[in-house]
Amino acid sequence: MGTALPQAATGSKLHRSCKPAALQPRRASRCTCMAQAAAVAPPAVRGIEAENMVAKPPATLLRPVDLTSSVKTRFEKMIRSAQDSICKAVSDIDGTPFREDAWTRESGGGGITRVLENGNVWEKAGVNVSVVYGSMPPEAYRAATGSVDKSFTGRVPFFAAGVSCVMHPHNPHAPTMHFNYRYFETEPWNGIPGQWWFGGGTDITPSYLYEEDMKHFHGMYKTICDKHDPTYHEKFKTWCDTYFLIKHRGETRGLGGIFFDDLNDKGPHEIMNFSEECVNSVVAAYCPLVTKHKDDAYTPQQRQWQQMRRGRYVEFNLVYDRGTTFGLKTGGRIESILMSLPVTASWQYDHQPAPGTPEW
């Protein structure tokens, strides 16, 4: 156990409304009627070309014409370097290597997924890099931008690049962590001029709250925000709490961090400086917390609480997460899109933590 009795983490405000209650999972079975339905369903329009798996990722995933773009080339270099350094740090702690899958697409772009599964410390840790050229339906554009304008029609040509990560440790006392940093461009379309923006953030989801851990994590990102813009931290912290709200339950997914999107109010390289420092601080902000708690003793009941909190994580990602819905709507690589989901999770019907317990 930790040095003090932990409080169960139930949401950013830590109040009693964050009490898990959902259905007990049922064993999956093959269903003939589902197979028949899938067989006759019309194929979805892919906004992204199919993947060509490769043994080794190329030096760049950009189209040759974009190698003269200082923003795109610098951003790709940044996200690939971050993937390398973060995977190395995690693998050094876990003692387990990452599996790597890489792919390209015929007209440009591709991706690199690295996953460590059932390791010594992490049940699942994944870091994705993607460079995407494609077109998206209006609903995907709205998912990507948060727009509610439903007046436009037709597919929107776009470029997107990003690095994303989710880490689910075995130990209930070690927190889950997620980050995503991305750059997005759309071409002029349907009377709307071409647009560019950055988005991203890093957030944390503990099952049990250790206040000193949260001070360390949030303090690091406040320092980074204050360095780049004194208004950033309060704004991006609030945005994070709002974005990671599981609306159908009235609960937050975790204990927040920072989150920003559609950021283009400064020059692209200035915003990229901020994104780069954020992603390069992930190891220092998160890994010490896992190292601290990876060998803590825990009970079966604490493990079960972690499983239910992971159930909440799954609910948010599949219902509300912009990146997940955007990937599914544009025909992205499914295994990479769903990499964020934990290996195990649980739903118990109407579970009510006992008053006075750490989970209460």
Q: Which residues are catalytic?
A: 178
* 64 in Cβ contact with 92 (< 8 Å): no
Q: How many CB atoms lie within 10 A of CB 225?
A: 22
Q: How far apart are CA 352 and CA 45, in angstroms?
A: 44
Classify each residue of 34-69 as buried b or exposed e, where b means 16 or more C-beta atoms within 10 Å of its C-beta. eeeeeeeeeeeeebbbebeeeeebeebbbeeebeeb
Give the angle subtended at the CA of 236 by the CAs of 231 and 238, to the nearest 5°: 105
Beta strands in 170-301 (DSSP E): 176-186, 195-205, 208-209, 245-246, 251-252, 257-263
* 312 in Cβ contact with 345 (< 8 Å): no
Q: How far apart are CA 101 and CA 38, in angstroms?
A: 27
Q: How far apart are CA 360 and CA 352, in angstroms?
A: 8
CA contacts within 13 A on the Cβ side of 226? 6
The label of the residue with tokens 């889950």 reads: 176
> What are the φ/ψ torsions at residue 112 (nearest 5 degrees)?
-135, 115
Helix (H/G/I), strand (E/B), else coil: 342 = coil
